Amino acid sequence: MARCCAATIRPGGGRRRARRAPTPGAGAAAGPRWLQRSELPADARFFGLGGQVDGPRLRSRSYRLWNTAPGPRHAAPDRSGSAPGLTGTKRGLVGLASRPLSVAMPVLVSVADAGTLLVFHDNSWDGRVDLREGAEGLGSGHDRPGRCEVRMSGGPLRYWAVAGAPSRVLHGWAALTGAPAVPPGWALGYQHALGAAGDAQRPARVAEGRRALGLPLRALHVEEFPSDGRGSTGGDVPGAGARAPGASAAGVRLVSSVGPAVRARAGDPVFESGRAADVFVREAGGRVVLGGAHGGEAVFPDFTDRRVRKWWGALYAERLEQGFAGVWHTGDEPFSLCAFGDPTLPLSARHALEGRGGDHREAHNVYALAMAEAACAGLRELRPEERPFLVSRSGWAGMQRYGGSATGGATGGWEGLRAALSLVLGLGLCGMPYAGPDIGEAAAQVSPELYLRGLQLGAYLPLLRTRAAKEARGEPWESCPRVLEHVRAALAARERLAPYLMTLAQLAHRTGAPYVRPVWWQHPRDRRLRDCEDAFLLGDALLVAPVLEPGVRERAVRLPAGRWYDTATARPFEGPATVRVAAPLDRVPVLARAGTAVPVRSQGGETELEVWPPAPGRTGGGLLIPDPGEGRQRPRAERFTVRADRGGAVVVEREGGGEVGYAVRVR
């Protein structure tokens, strides 16, 4: 029986924010199972839909809601050339495909003068979202409203809407789908993915090499490494007999790659255990689905079954015993080398789907989410005193409960920098605040200038991870020693912000607010800010304006209302306005909001408050939520007030009275 309905969402003042009119599809053979049309104000702008690389503002086109593995890792040409004095091969940087999307979410955020609206279509089937931006009429012309059409190939017609200010919308979203996990403190530092690790001693050599160069490496992500004398990788599944390399001796934590494909080989302990427990996905006829993995034929656990998740989570005990501190899920779209149409399992494959039963058309998009749930539950049970570290290549709505997103991919170049920023902003607005792209690192792949600008961008994103390509021939600084000095400066800036990043992580857990926010976050009615796609806020205190084009040494920055200081020169600027700020090769522009007290790490390693004077007649403040350590207890938030006394001196006070308790440095 077909059902039709319509809903109109209005803000408190009565202005129409969106009108939604679901209509039935024309039949399974003729089109989608159902179609929902929405009409929005003419000034509305669209964001979200997961980790889109074409934004952060989503243009008028179609977007598919289907998790897809990245394509081949080929770098896009850098036709611009290198900066003067910086020589190197002109190739790509950030591994991001422009169309395949590992984290597609049916979560659409619209921003208009009437307010901000988040709509979640609670349906994991393959779908499509068609967006058309509106246009305001000139003179006596009529407005053309914005339009959104959501087509789903099956499943229920069920959606949720949260309206209000951006902070309220994300808080409501977190209340609906779960609080974002707080990563361990070390996971907010510099990390590096080795790709194919080669011999078992390579991670230790890489860790020692970076320490000798003065690079503060916190973790190494090991994708593949030999596990026995027969040269087998043992599969990337936990419990496969792999041995951890010895990088931990250099004080660097190790993160192990884990994929869902279990090699279908008699005698393999994971395969035999899973076969005995009947945990693998089956075809409609009852046979176990055989897919393809790099090691040959493979089978896939059905993570939509609670019993299977329990079995899988227990396997991580071996990874922990081997010395790994966290896991990195890859190929969890799920990805299969067999040609079933899409590089996934057969759409007719059967899944438990929490006891309801169904096929892979419904299970595909939530497969990675269920796998992450299994891993997180297992890690928490095995090490209850530690906060788990888990990042996944794929995911779906609610993924933030278990970890974050580490995106690999295919194409890059200078356009890849914009794609990286778009991806992180989009995931943050969909409730997944801990995310970051892979930053390419091989000198044979990346021009030194491009590498530096990518690293400088990554230094202010939640997850900072570089990656060595399999065909790596050396480091970027080997052909240009100046690069190393600038790399140290970018990583030193990251280390200095460690207390602020942990505060943002704790704040995201409590309120749902992402670490990285669009510049319109506090001023959604500023239409120029809605169209700003080359800058972002890190929390409320800092505005970061990365360099996204070659040869740029000065760039324009659109400022929100209020006074802002260039953190390198302390020069003040008044917003809202567009200003020009220096962007030399050794840094990117970072501006601090007047009146803020930013918790940073001093040269001695202690936490101090860096205070930016408030504008005349204004007051400000700051927030510090310290790292709770290895446990998962909830630390107390410390709030501070910043004001100027009658003599003009800046005074910092702890809210509620008492000593500030930290060194204060007024800029």
Residue-range domain boundaries for the chain: 7-177, 594-667
**pLDDT single digits (tens) 254-309:** 999 999 999 999 999 999 999 999 999 999 999 999 988 766 799 999 999 999 99
Token output for 57: 């503002």
Query: Number of C-alpha atoms within 13 angstroms, CB side, residue 526?
Result: 18
Secondary structure (DSSP) of 269-291: HHHHHHHHHT-B-B-TTSPBP-E
| Share of residues in the chain with pLDDT > 70 (%) | 82
Longest dimension (CA), the chain: 83
What phi and psi values does residue 348 have, to the nearest 5 degrees?
A: -85, -5
For residues 469 and 388, the model is more confident at 388
**Helices (H) and strands (E) in the chain — how many of each?**
13, 35
pLDDT(607) > 90: yes
Q: Position 396: which residue type?
A: W
pLDDT(237) > 80: no
Q: How far apart are the two ends of the chain, measured CA to CA in Å?
A: 67
pLDDT recorded at residue 226: 39
**pLDDT single digits (tens) 3-20:** 445 556 555 444 555 665
CA–CA gap between residue 635 and residue 506 (Å, rounded): 9
pLDDT recorded at residue 251: 80
Q: Position 97: which residue type?
A: A
403 neighbors 364 (Cβ within 8 angstroms): no
CA–CA gap between residue 499 and residue 600 (Å, rounded): 5
pLDDT recorded at residue 78: 40
| Secondary structure (3-state) at 196 | strand
Residue (of 146, 144, 162) closest to 112 by Cα position: 146
Q: What is the mean pLDDT of residues 157-164?
A: 94
**pLDDT single digits (tens) 176-207:** 999 999 999 999 999 999 876 567 788 888 89
Distance from the Cα of residue 351 to its chain's centroid: 28
Stated pTM of the model: 0.91
Beta bridge partners of 135: 144
| Share of residues in the chain with pLDDT > 90 (%) | 70
Query: Number of C-alpha atoms within 13 angstroms, CB side, residue 594?
Result: 23
Residue (of 186, 350, 331) closest to 253 by Cα position: 186
Using CB atoms within 10 A of its CB, is residue 554 exposed (0-12), middle (13-18) or buried (19+)? exposed
Structure-token match 């808080």, residue found: 171
Q: For 479-504, give one letter per residue: b (16+ CB within 10 A) or e.
A: bbeebbebbbbbbbbbbbbbbbbbbb
pLDDT(461) > 60: yes
What phi and psi values does residue 602 have, to the nearest 5 degrees?
A: -75, 170
**pLDDT single digits (tens) 428-453:** 999 999 999 988 754 445 688 998 99
DSSP state of 230: T
pLDDT recorded at residue 526: 96
CA–CA gap between residue 477 and residue 105 (Å, rounded): 38
**pLDDT single digits (tens) 546-600:** 999 999 999 999 999 999 999 999 999 999 999 999 999 999 999 999 999 999 9
pLDDT recorded at residue 382: 97
126 neighbors 153 (Cβ within 8 angstroms): yes
443 neighbors 88 (Cβ within 8 angstroms): yes
| CATH number for the domain formed by residue range(s) 7-177 | 2.60.40
Please list, in sequence order, all residues whose beta carbon lies within 8 angstroms of the beta carbon of residue 332, skipping any fewer than 6 positions away: 259, 260, 367, 368, 371, 372, 392, 393, 394
CA–CA gap between residue 584 and residue 589 (Å, rounded): 9
Overall size of the chain counted in residues:
667
What phi and psi values does residue 4 have, to the nearest 5 degrees?
A: -125, 145
CA–CA gap between residue 651 and residue 148 (Å, rounded): 50
**pLDDT single digits (tens) 97-110:** 345 689 999 999 99
For residues 411 and 172, the model is more confident at 172
Binned at pLDDT 50, 70 and 90, residue 49 comes out as: very high
CA–CA gap between residue 150 and residue 165 (Å, rounded): 24
Token output for 549: 């084009």
pLDDT(248) > 60: yes
Directed axis angle between helix 448-458 and helix 482-496, to 10°?
0
**pLDDT single digits (tens) 319-348:** 999 999 999 999 999 988 875 667 899 999
542 neighbors 622 (Cβ within 8 angstroms): no
The bridge status of strand 262-263 relative to strand 217-222 is unpaired
pLDDT recorded at residue 444: 45
**pLDDT single digits (tens) 20-31:** 565 554 333 445
pLDDT recorded at residue 628: 82
